Amino acid sequence: MSAGRGTVGLVIGSFTAIGAFVLGVGVYSGVAEEDDPKGDGAVSAELNTGKVPTKYRPWVIKAAETCDEVTAPVIAAQIEAESGWNPNAKSPVGARGLSQFMPGTWDAHKVDADGHGASVWSGPDSIMTQAAYDCSLVGEVKGVEGDPVRLMLAAYNAGPGAVQQYGGIPPYPETQEYVRRIMSLVPKYSKSGAGGGADMHGTLGQRIAAQAKSQIGVPYSWGGGGPEGPSRGIQHGSGIVGYDCSGLVQYAVYQASKGKITMPRSSQAQATAGKAVSRGDIRTGDLIAFAMHGAGNYDHIGIYIGAGQFVHAPRTGQDVKISELSDNDQWPMAIRRLP
């Protein structure tokens, strides 16, 4: 915990210039099926108890009852990132215990969970206080647009005032990395276990859509992201951990195919992957490339998720989000289906 630091519409940024590390498309033997827009691809709220130290399991489960947004896997991932499950951890700046509370924050929110007096060195007290504080932060940043869990984590690290000031995750590399690290750990503690916490059942297309939706709320970063997840971009994206449009597609396809398909890096190259399909035959998981500056120049790309919607990383200042396909009919489109 590092205290002290205290979007809608389709104006799309593109990323077609990074061709130096374009990779080929691998072979996958999946069979496409009909749309299944059900299921949101969210991380399971059920705890993978085998990953949690035995003595803390009941407390992590109990802590998750504090509010709906703060689930047991999120609590566990946060503890790993904060202290590595060391109840005696102490940082150079004075943060203490499993959840690394600063003295002032602890005094304001402490919970006596085990009936022995509230102590920051007590695992149960730290876990229950963490949940209480997390849930209070959820309330403080409720009016800010974005994923409430990511916003809460940013507020835990940088303070709720910073999240409110910037209208989202602050542009502090430390805070962005803190959010990214915890969210990357959540699948480890989720009973679903793999694939970024997204639903790994169904067809390849359904899994691609689920992976894309699992990244909703991650900031746009020009040149950012790739097969393994969000990363710092380049130029005006250099201080932001996130995705651009083609980086998000790389991530979703790579994760959904369990590493069997690595997409090219640019939207222009991605617009030729797989096979072309018509608008009338579009299915969940199909790629939709937009030629916003002339036919054949595909400078933006997203992933169809069913019900006339697609997920994409729009532009600097926005986050990965869902948009209506019908709102973008003015742009020539190429719709591609991976094998």
Q: Which residues are catalytic?
A: 82
**Per-residue tokens: 16:** 């077609």
**Per-residue tokens: 234:** 């380049």
Cα 193 vs. chain centroid, distance in angstroms?
15
CA 251 to CA 248: how far, in whole Å? Answer: 5
Bridge partners, residue 322, by sequence: 311
> In this structure, are residues 294 and 302 in contact, taking their beta carbons and an 8 Å threshold?
no
- Express the helix, strand and coil content of the chain in percent, nearest 5 each: 35, 10, 50
Compute CA distances 65 → 70, 74, 155, whole Å: 8, 12, 20
3-state secondary structure of 310: strand
Report the C-alpha dihedral over residues 259, 70, 159, 1, rounded to 10 degrees. Answer: -70
3-state secondary structure of 32: coil
> In this structure, are residues 223 and 235 in contact, taking their beta carbons and an 8 Å threshold?
yes
> In this structure, are residues 317 and 252 in contact, taking their beta carbons and an 8 Å threshold?
no
CA 109 to CA 172: how far, in whole Å? Answer: 25
Q: CB 267: neighbour CB atoms within 10 A?
A: 26
What is the enclosing helix (H) or strand (E) of 160?
A: helix 160-166
